[in-house]
Amino acid sequence: MAKRILIVGGGTAGWLTAGYLAKRLGADLPGGVSIQLVESRDIGILGVGEGTFPTIRRTLSTIGISETELVRRCGASFKQGTKFVHWRHAPGGAGPDHYAHPFQNAEARGGLELLPYWLLGVGGDVNWDEVANPQKKAADAHRAPKLPTHPDYVSPLNYAFHFDAVALAALLREHAVANGVRHLIDQVSEVRLDEDGAIAGVVTASGLLEADLYVDCTGFRAELIGKALGVPYRSCRDVLFCDSAVAIQIPYRDGSAPIASFTISTAQEAGWVWDIGLDRRRGIGHVYSSAHTDDARAEELVRAYVGADAEGIETRKFRFDAGYREVNWHKNCVAIGLSSGFFEPLEATGIVMSEVAAGLVASLFPWGGDFETSARQFNANMLQRYERARDFIKLHYCLSQRRDSAFWRDNVAENSIPHSLRERLERWRFRPPTELDVDPNVDIFTEASWQYVLYGMGWKTDVSARAGAYRYHDDARAAFEEVRRQAAFAVANLPSNRELIDYAINNR
Ligand code: FAD
């Protein structure tokens, strides 16, 4: 029988896992599991990771955190997707300089799939992100995704959040402890193994801590899964070149400044800059490849991006190795968070992978002691998720028409594009991505996400051979017109991102 969980690490991954498992596995019930979390105050947490995925709404709601509490405590704002600037062409290049990947799927309207009609030119000379649904226009106008009267986590437009990562870890901690998680501040100095190679206990200054399942949330240090158990890490730096970041926090000069409802991602000569609007400040960072530029130039570019507001403000530097473990559950240890894998900040795949892993552990928890079957299922699932997310991130780079630096030229080299991604692109030469191309059990990105990035980056799917099979041109035109009307309505009637935040802070 398994009844005791020990989580090592109290960053976003550790506390999110603790709070979530406490609810799903009944840490506050007599028949539930007991959960303890140990974290080192000296080592501290990474403290970045401000952009999330729509799944975060269900996760936070399961943990018991209200939207109002999130906004008040974590400086949260409403995120409706990502806007990509200069990814397709360098500044000054021909063609559109930006596109969006909104969270809202392009729905079939009246049963009609609009994408083939758009590919046939029925939507006119308007980008897919704009004709597919009203969200891009609304978010471009800094609108929130919902009205103040909509209940927590409910909205007509799909959304996630931007928030302060340090404040979030503190809020998650409070809820986890209230839900029955025991909290210990101490450092793990040694991991003891038994004769089978499983973890027998971890040594801290307070004594030996023992459990049935150990969750490694120690971040890049990977103290349990990596250092103690020796489970290898698979780097994919040959595919995803970025391995460094320099981040800066910029307070708004004016408390009424508009707050962007997209993460804004602006391509640079050897990487890209994220720009995330919270309620009182922006979090900005330059992600780059150290093989293609150096730290000084990276810092110069992020300061140039911000302008005068960056003067006198310190930056923080980060290094990472894009990749993941093919085995994340080994014997009685499971890795969640950065210890399990991390690609880079693009498309916010970090926290969502922790959400997924915590959900899998809750569903596969080996109550009867059946560790091996749970581990096999967990590992197979997570491996596919990592591989597919890696391909989706690479898609953003490998379709670029930029050739202005070695970084962009290297990104289109055939040997940097995984076979699985080349296979997908081959399929989409003559038919667009559909639900046949994704598996909801392992894909965190839907076919709509693939479509937004493909067509935003200028990919051509040639449907001319089947043009004669599409007969509802007038209906499609009317549907595109309806999206335009809805977008105008959303811009006119939704509150701004800042107004909705202020409402949550002051009125609820
Ligand atoms: P950490 O935050 O590093 O926490 C590790 C914990 O382990 C700490 O509490 C530490 O004290 C503890 N610990 C370590 N060793 C020991 C020990 N021996 N004994 C006791 N305790 C120990 N993700 C997103 O989803 N969206 C984003 O926008 C995003 N942006 C990012 C930008 C950058 C530059 C980077 C590097 C990452 C970003 N991520 C993002 C990823 C995201 O930050 C992480 O997924 C998230 O913070 C989880 O980190 P963690 O909890 O695994 O690790």
CATH code for the part of the protein at 4-50+164-235+322-387: 3.50.50.60
Instruction: ipTM value, please give it.
Output: 0.99
pLDDT over threshold 80, residue 109? no
β-partners of residue 216 are 8, 335
pLDDT(370) > 90: yes
| Statement: residue 266 has pLDDT above 80 | yes
- Ligand 1 atom with minimal separation from the 12 CA: 51
Q: Whose CA is nearest to atom 46 of ligand 1?
A: 12
% the chain with pLDDT above 90: 93
| pLDDT over 90 at 111, yes or no | no
| 217 pocket-lining for ligand 1 (C-beta < 6 Å) | yes
Query: What rounded mean pLDDT belongs to the chain?
Result: 96
The residue among 126, 85, 495, 502 whose CA lies nearest residue 262 is 85
Q: Angle, nearest 10°, between helix axes 67-74 and 497-506? A: 100
CA separation for the pair 37, 182 (Å, rounded):
6
Please identify, by atom number, the ligand 1 atom nearest to the C-alpha of residue 218. 7
- Residue from 218, 339, 343 to probe ligand 1 pocket by mutation (most atoms less than 8 Å from CB): 218
- DSSP letter assigned to residue 112: B
- Residue 508's pLDDT band (cuts 50, 70, 90): low
As beta bridge partners, residue 482 has: none
Cα–Cα distance between 344 and 239 in angstroms, integer?
12
Query: Torsion over CA of 195, 199, 200 and 201, rounded to 10 degrees?
Result: 150
> Which tens digits make up the pLDDT trace of 293-344?
999 999 999 999 999 999 999 999 999 999 999 999 999 999 999 999 999 9
pLDDT digits (tens, 9 = 90+) for 207-249: 999 999 999 999 999 999 999 999 999 999 999 999 999 999 9
Name the residue with tokens 């008040």. 72
Global pTM reads 0.97
- Reported as a single tens digit per residue, the pLDDT across 28-56 is 999 999 999 999 999 999 988 899 999 99
CA 207 to CA 230: how far, in whole Å? 24
Nearest 5°: the CA angle 324, 394, 461 is: 140
- Is 393 within any annotated ligand binding site? no
Q: In this structure, which residue's CA is closest to atom 9 in ligand 1?
A: 10
Distance 219 CA to ligand 1 centre (A): 5
Helix (H) or strand (E) holding 239: none
Average of per-residue pLDDT across 368-384: 97
In a 10 Å sphere around its CB, with 0-12 CB exposed, 13-18 middle and 19+ buried, how is residue 275 labelled? buried
Bridge partners for 190 per DSSP: 203
C-alpha–C-alpha distance, residues 136 and 100, integer Å: 7
Q: Which H helix or E strand runs over 163?
A: none
Distance CA(295)–CA(205), nearest Å, equals: 38
* pLDDT top residue among 351 and 94: 351
Q: What pLDDT score does 92 carry?
A: 84
pLDDT for 404 equals 95
Give yes or no for residue 95 having a pLDDT over 80.
no
d(CA 150, CA 113): 29
CB atoms closer than 10 angstroms to residue 64: 14
pLDDT in tens, 457-487: 999 999 999 999 999 999 999 999 999 999 9
Q: Which residues, in sequence order, are CB contacts of 370 under 8 Å at separation 6+? A: none
Which of 132, 447, 106, 393 minimizes the C-alpha distance to 271?
393
pLDDT band at 439 (very low <50, low <70, confident <90, very high): very high
* Under 8 Å between Cβ of 480 and 133: no
Q: Which of 7, 4, 14, 3 is nearest to 337 (CA)?
A: 14
The H or E element spanning position 12 is: helix 12-24
